[in-house]
Structure formats: structure tokens, C-alpha cells
Amino acid sequence: MTTLVRDAMSTVVLTIGPAHTLRQAARLMSARRVGAAVVLDPDAGGVGILTERDILNSVGAGQDPDREPAHLHTTTDVVFAAPGWTLEDAARAMTRGGFRHLIVLDDREPVGVVSVRDIVRCWSSVRRDAPAAPAGTVAS
């Protein structure tokens, strides 16, 4: 059975504005237990993503999270997933792009976020539920 993005994605979509500070974004992400926020910025072309790595890079560079606005750290050239993509499609897109989150759009509206963690969780449960390999064989 092929698992689809809609089956794995988190439907808890944290949406912030471009003027939120990185500290505000980090607090909201922590409270919601998510690793990314969707940044809605109609002036800059619509939908972007701010990840925990973006915040970490800013703090590591010595920038003040209370003064840094989200829009300066938002990825705007986002690769989006569709709910009907397979997890293999999503994993391939993440690998090609070098990122860990995909915003899931349905009719051009964000309906979820799928992360590497979501994919691993689904794949590991599929493997856990699969019959064990016979003794003396190597599972692939």
C-alpha cells in the first residue's frame, strides 16, 4: 500500500506574519511542537516557510531574535507538495532541495506541513507492521 502525503502530514499549520520576530516565531513553534511556520506575506508573493534551522542560523550569527523579523529569514522559493503525492515523491523533493519540510497546498491554500519526521514515522510503522523476514535472511 502506498502512503500519501495527506496521510502523513501534520494538519497543525502554524501561520505567522512577516513582521513576527524570530523569538515570537520560536515561542509559537515550541508551543505547537512544530519545526516550521508558514509565513503569509501578500506583499512578497504569498507563502514562505520559516524553520527552526533558520532561527538557529540567525542566533548562531549573533543576530538578536527580538529584533530580527521573520521575513528576513523566510524561504520564499518554496517547493510545495500536494496531498496526493506519495511519500516517495515528498522524500525525493526534500532530498533534491536539501530541506526537511514541505508545505502542503490544496487549491493554493496551505492545508498541512509534511516533514522528514512524518515520513520516517509512517515508513517505520509500515515496516513494524510487515511480517518478519525468515531466520537467516537479510531484510532490505
The DSSP symbol for 107 reads T
pLDDT of residue 2: 85
Cβ–Cβ under 8 Å, residues 80 and 103: yes
How do the pLDDT tens digits run along the chain, 140 residues long?
Answer: 689 999 999 988 899 999 999 999 999 999 999 999 999 987 766 789 999 999 999 999 999 999 999 999 998 888 899 999 999 999 999 999 999 999 999 988 889 999 999 999 999 876 655 555 555 544 44
Spatial separation of the C-alpha atoms in residues 67 and 54, rounded to whole Å: 15
Which residues in 7-41 are b (16+ Cβ under 10 Å) and which e?
ebbbeebbebebebbbebbbeebeeeebbbbbbeb
Residue 137 falls inside a structural domain? no
Spatial separation of the C-alpha atoms in residues 135 and 111, rounded to whole Å: 44
pLDDT of residue 130: 54
**First and final CA of the chain: distance in angstroms?**
17
Q: In what order do the strands lie in the sheet with 80-81?
A: 80-81, 101-106, 109-115
CATH code of the domain in which 122 resides: 3.10.580.10
Residue 139 falls inside a structural domain? no
Residue 140 falls inside a structural domain? no
Other CB atoms within a 10 A radius of the CB of residue 92 amount to 12
Q: Domain total for the chain? A: 1
Instruction: Specify the DSSP element, H or E, that contains 48.
Output: strand 46-51
pLDDT of residue 140: 43
Q: What is the pTM of this model?
A: 0.81
pLDDT of residue 43: 77
Instruction: Specify the DSSP element, H or E, that contains 53.
Output: helix 52-60
pLDDT of residue 128: 58
Residue 89 falls inside a structural domain? yes
Domain of 109 in residue numbering reads as: 5-129
pLDDT of residue 41: 82
